[in-house]
Amino acid sequence: MSQLSQSHLLGIKDLTSEDIQLIFETADNFKEVINRPIKKVPSLRDITIANLFFENSTRTRLSFELAEKRLSADVINFSSSTSSVKKGETLLDTVNNVLAMKVDMIVIRHSSPGAPHFLSKHIEANIINAGDGTHEHPTQALLDAFSLRLKFGDLTGLKVAIIGDILHSRVALSNILALKKLGAEVMVCGPNTLMPPHVEELGVVKELDVRNALQWCDVANVLRIQLERQQGGYFPSLREYSLYYGINRKLLDSLNKEITIMHPGPINRGVEIDSDVADSQHSLILQQVENGVAIRMAILYLLAGATS
Ligand code: CP
């Protein structure tokens, strides 16, 4: 197979496990390219890509822009905070105006779940979901799984605990869907108030005690508390959350086992994870960021091929 089954990347839900393997194999090649002295290839020389960020981002926005430039695409960047959205322009009008400038692909981050799916029903260009509200963050899940594949090889039977604010996390849902498609076992852990109703129906185990989760897992993917999406009242205070769910060195040392630590960023140091864990030799956090460029190059390259 040399083509994706989809012409958009809206969510992991739509990808087959063959799609994911194709993305990984393509990313292997691009990882080699970006470690060369000359990190650029001409693959997308005739393609124009618009990065439309209606929500804040550091990693995803810069990673997409770098991936596009490494592939020799022409790139335009849009931030809603400095745009005519502030004058009342709609999402669809904004995107149609961008497309009128002969743009081929849209990367979009939006606070509304389903915004990329809505666009896909109204426009012709390829769309990549760079995070839609609390729904999905497919490129994050792919770079996370790719990083695990580089460390562990086949993910079949690998035990991954996703710990933190599961309820508000698009990373959690996309990771659950990707890891299950790749044969891993997944546990979600956090306060019951931060668990989506019926989360077990996704084929994961729910655990409220972080020590039990850490005793079970090979990998802990630690998520931040998404205060910007919460109405409050999910737990008494950040201090209390950190006391019961924070991942710290003392807790890990008491388990007498090695656990690989992941975090999608941004990190709230001293809340969900302490610095001596985030920065330890068992942490994949900066490798996740590094691998994000190769994964996004692979997705852009494969989707561009899907239109030709
Ligand atoms: N992981 C992630 O999506 O980070 P940003 O919000 O900085 O893009």
Decide: 140 in ligand 1 pocket, CB within 6 A. yes
Residues 114 and 171 placed together within one structural domain of the fold: no
Q: Which residues make Cβ contacts (< 8 Å) with residue 283, sequence separation at least 6?
A: 260, 261, 262, 263, 277
Distance in angstroms (rounded) separating the CA atoms of residues 203 and 180: 8
- Tell me how many domains the chain contains: 2
Question: Catalytic amino acids?
Answer: 59-60, 87, 109, 137
Q: Taking 80 as the threshold, does the pLDDT of residue 306 lie above it?
A: no
Distance in angstroms (rounded) separating the CA atoms of residues 74 and 213: 45
Residue whose CA is closest, atom 6 of ligand 1? Answer: 57
Tokens of residue 226, six digits: 């998404």
Residue 235 pLDDT level (bands cut at 50, 70, 90):
confident
Residues 189 and 219 placed together within one structural domain of the fold: yes
Residues 151 and 127 placed together within one structural domain of the fold: no
Residue 275 pLDDT level (bands cut at 50, 70, 90):
very high
Q: What is the DSSP letter of 47?
A: -
Q: Taking 70 as the threshold, does the pLDDT of residue 207 lie above it?
A: yes
Average pLDDT over the chain, rounded to an integer: 96
Decide: 265 in ligand 1 pocket, CB within 6 A. yes
Q: Taking 90 as the threshold, does the pLDDT of residue 225 lie above it?
A: no
Residues 130 and 43 placed together within one structural domain of the fold: yes
Distance in angstroms (rounded) separating the CA atoms of residues 97 and 160: 43
Q: Dihedral, CA atoms, 77, 79, 83, 87, nearest 10 degrees?
A: 150
Residues 167 and 270 placed together within one structural domain of the fold: yes
Evaluate if pTM is beyond 0.85: yes
Residues 123 and 220 placed together within one structural domain of the fold: no
Q: What is the pLDDT of residue 308?
A: 37
Residues 284 and 297 placed together within one structural domain of the fold: no
For the segment 138-155, the average pLDDT, to the nearest whole number, is 98
Residue 189 pLDDT level (bands cut at 50, 70, 90):
very high
Q: Taking 60 as the threshold, does the pLDDT of residue 240 lie above it?
A: yes
Q: Write b or e for each residue in 178-188: b if 16 or more Cβ atoms lie within 10 A of its Cβ, otherwise e.
A: bbbbbebbbbb
Domain of residue 30, CATH code: 3.40.50.1370
- Choose which residue among 60, 129, 134, 284 to substitute to test ligand 1 binding: the one with the highest number of ligand atoms within 8 A of its C-beta: 60
Distance in angstroms (rounded) separating the CA atoms of residues 192 and 50: 39
Q: Taking 50 as the threshold, does the pLDDT of residue 307 lie above it?
A: no
Q: Taking 90 as the threshold, does the pLDDT of residue 205 lie above it?
A: yes
In a domain, 297, yes or no: yes
Of the candidates 118, 219, 211, 111, the one whose C-alpha atom is nearest the C-alpha of residue 161 is 219
Decide: 57 in ligand 1 pocket, CB within 6 A. yes
Residue 1 pLDDT level (bands cut at 50, 70, 90):
low
- Provide the sign of the torsion angle of the four alpha carbons 232, 236, 241, 245, taken in this order: negative
Tokens of residue 131, six digits: 């995070």
Residues 250 and 301 placed together within one structural domain of the fold: no
Q: List the beta bridge partners of residue 260.
A: 219
